[in-house]
Amino acid sequence: MERKDQTQPAETNVISEYGKTLMVHVDTSPGQKILDLGCGTGDLTAVLAANGADVLGIDNSAEMIVKARYSHPELMFAEIDALELPYDEEFDTVFSNSVFHWIPDVDHLLAEIRRALKPGGKLVCEFGAASNIATMRQAFAAASARHGREYRERFYCPTPDEFFDRLKAARFEPERVLEFDRQTPLPGGADGLRHWVCRFLKSDLEPFSASVQEQILTEVETACRPLLWNGSEFIVDYRRLRAVAFKR
Ligand code: BEZ
């Protein structure tokens, strides 16, 4: 079992581009059955399928599945909740990029994945690690508190040790669980940070009036600028956790 810090080279700002570096852990040869859990637009599903593996992309967003089917009509996609996988020992590999941090009930998620895997099957996943986007989260929590509302953390971003223990408890044998920084430029230049907050912390912003929302966005930008602004774009402190584990 490998557990260490690792800094990755700078890459472009596309989730799927980052996800490609995770592919090295997946056997994509013909005959392999792969589940792409949380496939989004299906771009990584297509990469997983390029060598002839039998790949199914699933996502709980109907909108994403429509996009994936439109972009990759030759591939199989289904609208399915990761916490309700209708599979029993069907897949050689479950692959998941940038999804686990959205699912706080990780024990349930791992139990579903375990059931979907064949005996000895492999889980390959990457998602937010502890301290992921810490600067923005802390700035948002402080601004929210100043305006009378406590920010409740919704993302599941564990340390490698915590996730290792969860894998063991779910009867996986971890081969590697490691974390690394992934400095990530936000698209949108000077507005990039507020776009991110409006998109991903939408439900935390919504309880405030429009004018307070605007104040919060400005306060978050002001707090983050000294650390994240490089003169032309915000570079956000993403931290990733990458794990490879086998079903016991
Ligand atoms: C991420 O780490 O990819 C992420 C975390 C929270 C919201 C959106 C994305």
Q: Whose CA is nearest to atom 2 of ligand 1?
A: 128
How many Å apart are CA 16 and CA 64, to the nearest integer? Answer: 14
Q: What does the domain layout of the chain look like in residue ranges?
A: 10-247
pLDDT of residue 19: 73
Average pLDDT, the chain: 93
Tokens in use for 75? 């591939």
Question: Two tokens at 240?
Answer: 């990733």
Contact between residue 52 and residue 79 where contact means Cβ atoms under 8 Å apart? no
21 CB-near residues (< 8 Å, 6+ apart): 8, 11
What CATH fold (topology level) applies to the domain 10-247? Rossmann fold (3.40.50)
The reply to whether ligand 1 has any atom less than 6 angstroms from the CB of 240 is no
What number does the ligand 1 atom closest to the CA of 101 have? 5
- pLDDT at position 4 is 39
CA gap 29, 53 in Å, rounded = 5
Nearest CA to ligand 1 atom 3: 98
* Model pLDDT for residues 35-57, shown as the tens digit of each residue: 999 999 999 999 999 999 999 99
User: How many other C-beta atoms can be found within 10 angstroms of the C-beta atom of residue 226?
Assistant: 8
Nearest residue to 174 via CA among 187, 188, 158, 190: 158
Report how far ligand 1's centroid is from the alpha carbon of 31 (Å): 33
| Tokens linked to 28 | 């994509």
CA-to-CA dists, residue 3 to 158, 170, 176, 177, 237, angstroms: 14, 19, 6, 5, 20
pLDDT in tens, 78-110: 999 999 999 999 999 999 999 999 999 999 999
Is ligand 1 within 6 A of the CB of residue 163? no
- pLDDT confidence tier of residue 20, bands split at 50, 70 and 90: confident
Choose one of 15, 131, 132 to mutate for the ligand 1 pocket test, by most ligand atoms within 8 angstroms of C-beta: 132
In 112-233, where do the E strands start and end?
117-128, 172-185
Confidence label for 208 from pLDDT (cuts 50, 70 and 90): very high
Give the C-alpha separation, 66 to 201, whole Å: 24
Percent of the chain beyond pLDDT 70? Answer: 94
Q: Which amino acid is at 100?
A: F
Give the residue among 135, 143, 137, 153 at the shortest CA–CA distance from 214: 143
Ligand 1: residue whose CA is nearest its atom 8: 200
Burial of 45 (0-12, 13-18, 19+ CB in 10 A): buried
In sequence order, what are the beta bridge partners of 237? 183
C-alpha 48/C-alpha 39 separation (Å) is: 11
227-238 residue pLDDT tens? 999 999 999 999
149 Cα to the center of ligand 1, angstroms: 22
